Structure 1
């Protein structure tokens, strides 16, 4: 099997599509702050309203231990064209800020606004980190086989390609299986174009991305625990 095909398979989730379930920390560097998301952004307020309604209806119940695998699908979100939306991660290796690309992948960006507002990513780990390739996380089960309870199709733009490191892209087990698992590239990965949706780009914290890579391995098993301590959205 050629090297590029092995890498492609590694990004995909571990189990076949029909087998996917439905249902000593380093502190941030000096000067890094968690900026709270503004309460007056229309997209954020829309997501918060949807979560409140779904919670009231009993479809979201965070008291259930497995709530991260039993979520209803994200709502359609109207992003403000003049604003920039960033997905921020506080990891045990430092902070990362990623500019989302709602014009390119509005559904994927809406999904991450929704999951982040729920606190879905908090305390999840990077379960697969392949040196020279990518860091993968976002699995609610922590082993690469889980999803949030829903799946959806990819969004592809021929002008947005896996041309460099620091790109946020969606992991999947084939067409129509995007959920919550994502990966951040360490270098250009052109063989993934048209198969994995790019929906963000690192704007701050590439040193943290490199720290994640340095704790990875050729086979993907991290050499030490790598986790997301907190995720949040900023808008400006």
Structure 2
């Protein structure tokens, strides 16, 4: 993966730290990181959603800076498969949840913060996308 630290330094660092962080605790008293978290939703032909390490159902998660971080900018565009973007519930509610686009999703360009892109492993992304559905439920655990 390539993170866009130049255009979204806070969001990119949040993502990086949640993969590597060993210190600190989340609201459940555990180290805040993605290790062991699952995909909450896979909508075939749209996106793979992950990052709720609190509840594992898409309703939780937090940033390394606190409950959430503000939208940094909307400079990058959802140009196609492999784009890493923050999943949020409203303006400035970026926490730990993110999604990887499996298609062009330009309607998200001015609402979701893009902070990186997949640069290799598209075969894995395609395989995950193929077990998704229009409801987001997967055909395999």
The TM-score range, normalised by the shorter chain, is 0.7 to 0.9
Equivalent residue, structure 2, for 1:207: 123
Equivalent residue, structure 2, for 1:80: none
Per residue, is there more helix in 1 or in 2? 1
Deviation at 1:113, TM superposition (A): 2.2
Distance across 2 between alignment mates of 1:213 and 1:194: 24
Q: Given that residues 74 and 109 in structure 2 are in contact (C-alpha distance below 8 angstroms), is that contact kept between their aligned partners in structure 1? A: no
Q: Given that residues 131 and 216 in structure 1 are in contact (C-alpha distance below 8 angstroms), is that contact kept between their aligned partners in structure 2? A: yes
Equivalent residue, structure 2, for 1:118: 21
Does residue 147 of structure 1 match 2:67?
A: no
TM-superposition CA deviations, 1:8-66 (whole Å, max 9, x none): xxxxxxxxxxxxxxxxxxxxxxxxxxxxxxxxxxxxxxxxxxxxxxxxxxxxxxxxxxx
Structure-1-length-normalised TM-score: 0.52
Deviation at 1:224, TM superposition (A): 1.3
Equivalent residue, structure 1, for 2:98: 182
Equivalent residue, structure 2, for 1:194: 110
Three-state SS of the structure 2 residue aligned to 1:168 is strand
TM-superposition CA deviations, 1:94-148 (whole Å, max 9, x none): xxxx100001110111112221222611110011000010000000111000022
Equivalent residue, structure 2, for 1:89: none
Three-state SS of the structure 1 residue aligned to 2:13 is helix
Q: Given that residues 74 and 111 in structure 2 are in contact (C-alpha distance below 8 angstroms), is that contact kept between their aligned partners in structure 1? A: no
Does residue 130 of structure 1 match 2:67?
A: no
Equivalent residue, structure 1, for 2:4: 101
Aligned pairs for 1:71-82 (under 5 A) are: none
5+ residue gaps, structure 1? 1-97, 226-236
Distance across 1 between alignment mates of 2:117 and 2:18: 18
Please point out which of 74, 78, 89 is paired with 1:162: 78
Deviation at 1:152, TM superposition (A): 0.9
TM-superposition CA deviations, 1:158-206 (whole Å, max 9, x none): 3x20011110000000111100000000111011011111111111100
Runs of 4 or more, structure 1, over 2 Å off, are none
5+ residue gaps, structure 2? 23-32
Structure-2-length-normalised TM-score: 0.86
Q: Which structure has the larger Rg over C-alpha atoms?
A: 1
Equivalent residue, structure 2, for 1:19: none
Q: Given that residues 44 and 130 in structure 2 are in contact (C-alpha distance below 8 angstroms), is that contact kept between their aligned partners in structure 1? A: yes
